[in-house]
Amino acid sequence: MGLLIRWSWCWGAWGWWWGLVMGAARWGLGAGRTEGVPQPQPLLSLLPALSMKETFLVLSLHNKLRSKVQPPAANMQKLEWDEELGRLAGARAASCLQGPAPPPAPQLGWSEALLPVGTGGFGAVLEGWFAEGRRYDYGTGRCARNATCHHYTQLVWATAGRLGCGRHLCPGGHGPNEAFACAYSPGGNWEVSGTPVLPYKQGPWCSLCTAGLSGCFKSWDHSGGLCEMPRNPCRMSCRNNGRLDMSSCQCTCPQGYTGRYCQVRCSRQCLHGKFRKEECSCLCDVGYGGAECGSESVLQGGSRDLQAGTPGAGLWLLQRGHWQRDPPSACIPSEDSVPLPHL
């Protein structure tokens, strides 16, 4: 019953918020109008989504601040911009932050601010959220008494990988305000049995990055470090599940493939010969040729005598159009041997 009541309350709050946003969009209330009575107010017009420049600045500042946490973070991920989260954050800001943040709360984390116009924009907002960290005790995972730290802990939540933000001009009793909202996925600020979960793991930068985020992004001044998908300085890729060694820019091919890009499929079997792994090819017995040593080669002008029991005798192999013994160091002709002709 308690769960049902809580869910009903959340859904009711969400329905109220969504109705407000949709009503504003339909009747122009987000543009500073009341229903049926046009009242143009340019300052209160609905702002479009953040421009590309604003998006870059907001994202860059987020990652810069995440690279400055103390103590250092061993598993801090680099944030990437998400357009869908940007639209959600824009809709949230358009509500002038009225009511609770929209669901799905378990998947998203929210940080919001409502400030008078002209107080510095998103840069000042993010710096203010990060400054809350001065009142945060990493050792206990708690904020100082009568202080707020949840914006800071969400901003530096290590496993958050996607970000979207929005802003909107809103009416105020003493002049227009500007609403700022940022959505993070996955969200942070977790608690387990009433104990706060630390926002990141302490340690040398990038020392606990996961396998999929093994790259280490550093800011222009080479400070900090954020886990990211590894870059490819070689500008090449390996085919057929080959592994690229970025230090040497060479492919390590799986069994059965060779070539610079692992693009050559090896012979599956050597019918009359042996497989040489380093060359990914067959070394055929004397008298046989082809990719799998399946075709007989006719020798003209004589016979051959392979005396396996004779010390020093070797196996004749057809290699690149010439007959050779294998191994060469053991090749001592017997008295009855007949030289093989060149092909």
In a domain, 289, yes or no: yes
169 and 61 in one domain?
Answer: yes
pLDDT at 161 over 60: yes
Are both 288 and 164 inside the same structural domain? no
State the average pLDDT for the chain: 76
Same domain, residue pair 182 and 290: no
Residue 280 and residue 176 share a domain: no
Asked whether residue 190 falls in the same domain as residue 98, the answer is: yes
Q: Is residue 229 part of a domain?
A: no
Q: Residue 62 belongs to what domain range?
A: 52-196
Beta-carbon contacts of residue 44 (< 8 Å; ≥ 6 apart) = 31, 32, 169, 170, 171, 176
Listed residues 161, 178, 196: the one ending a domain = 196
Q: Which among 209, 182, 217 is positioned nearest to 66, based on CA atoms?
A: 217
Dihedral pair phi/psi, residue 76, rounded to 5°: -75, 120
Residue 143 lies in a domain: yes
* Residue 207 predicted with pLDDT over 70: yes
CB atoms within 10 A of CB 207: 15
- Whether the predicted pLDDT of 117 surpasses 80: yes
Asked if residue 14 belongs to a domain, the reply is: no
Q: What is the pLDDT of residue 195?
A: 92
Check: CB of residue 136 under 8 Å from CB of residue 152. Answer: yes
Q: Given 149, 179, 196, which residue is the final one in a domain? A: 196
Collapse the DSSP code of 187 into the 3-class scheme (helix H, G, I; strand E, B; otherwise coil) and give the result. Answer: coil
Single residue among 147, 179, 196 that ends a domain in this structure: 196
102 within a domain of the structure (yes/no): yes
Give the CATH number of the domain where residue 291 resides.
2.10.25
pLDDT in tens, 15-33: 444 444 343 333 333 333 3
Tell me what percent of the residues of the chain surpass a pLDDT of 70. 69
Q: Side chain identity at 218, as an amino acid letter? A: K
- Digit-coded pLDDT (tens) for 42-58: 333 444 568 889 999 99
Report if residue 183 sits inside a domain.
yes
- What's the CATH code of the domain at 65? 3.40.33.10
Residue with the bigger pLDDT between 137 and 52: it is 137
Q: Is residue 58 located within the same domain as residue 191?
A: yes
Band of residue 247 on the pLDDT scale cut at 50, 70, 90: confident
Same-domain check for residues 66 and 165? yes
Most confident of 35-49, 209-223, 323-337: 209-223
Convert the pLDDT of each residue in 62-105 to its tens digit: 999 999 999 999 999 999 999 999 999 999 999 999 887 766 55
User: Is the domain of 146 the same as that of 280?
Assistant: no
- For residues 63 and 42, what is the distance between their CA atoms, to the nearest angstrom? 33
Res. 267 pLDDT band, cuts 50 70 90: low
Residues 284 and 174 in one domain: no
Which residue, among 248, 105, 111, 216, has the nearest Cα to 166 in the 3D structure? 111
Answer yes or no: is 169 within a domain.
yes
Domains held by the chain: number: 2
Closest CA to 133 of 155, 113, 162, 116: 155
Residue 26 covered by a domain: no
Q: How confident is the model at residue 337, as a pLDDT?
A: 43
Helices (H), the chain: 2-27, 52-66, 83-94, 121-131, 150-155
- Measured CA to CA, the distance from residue 316 to residue 293 in angstroms comes to 13
pLDDT range class, residue 317, cuts 50, 70, 90: low
